[in-house]
């Protein structure tokens, strides 16, 4: 995984989450967990729970994240904020009643 970190997002999460659980929700497949964990450690990202796409799930990122969000809510988590660089994910979170912050990564620029 060669994606560069988004320093502003990392600093924002650090400042906002002192008394909150940080859940990283990614559409990356669970088979890439080792690579993802190594990347998080290398870039000093603090987190409490990592939720990833199931290996056989081929849905879009918003579909995957909506399903994980539903599972998290079923487990008693209630998100208070979602930070994402994918505009499609932001639309999904808002439709689920979760406030959002957009962080520009350049990844979705055309």
d(CA 28, CA 55): 9
CB count within 10 Å of CB 68 equals 19
Q: What residue has token string 């055309």?
A: 110
Domain 7-102 has CATH 3.10.20.90: no
Residue 25 DSSP SS3: strand
Q: Tell me the pTM.
A: 0.81
- Model confidence pLDDT, tens digit, residues 7-50: 888 887 777 777 888 999 999 999 999 999 999 999 888 899 99
Ranges of each domain in the chain = 7-102
User: What pairs with residue 49 in β-bridges?
Assistant: 23
Residues contacting 68, CB < 8 A, separation 6+: 25, 51, 53
């Amino acid at each position: 995984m060669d994606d560069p970190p988004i320093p502003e997002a990392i600093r924002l999460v650090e400042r906002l989450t002192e008394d909150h659980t940080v859940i990283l929700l990614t559409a990356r497949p669970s088979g890439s967990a080792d690579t993802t964990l190594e990347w998080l450690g290398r870039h000093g990202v603090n987190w409490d729970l990592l939720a990833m796409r199931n290996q056989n799930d081929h849905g879009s990122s918003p579909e995957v994240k909506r399903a994980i969000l539903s599972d998290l809510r079923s487990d008693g988590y209630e998100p208070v904020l979602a930070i994402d660089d994918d505009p499609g994910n932001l639309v999904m979170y808002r439709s689920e009643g979760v406030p959002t912050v957009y962080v520009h990564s350049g990844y979705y620029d055309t």
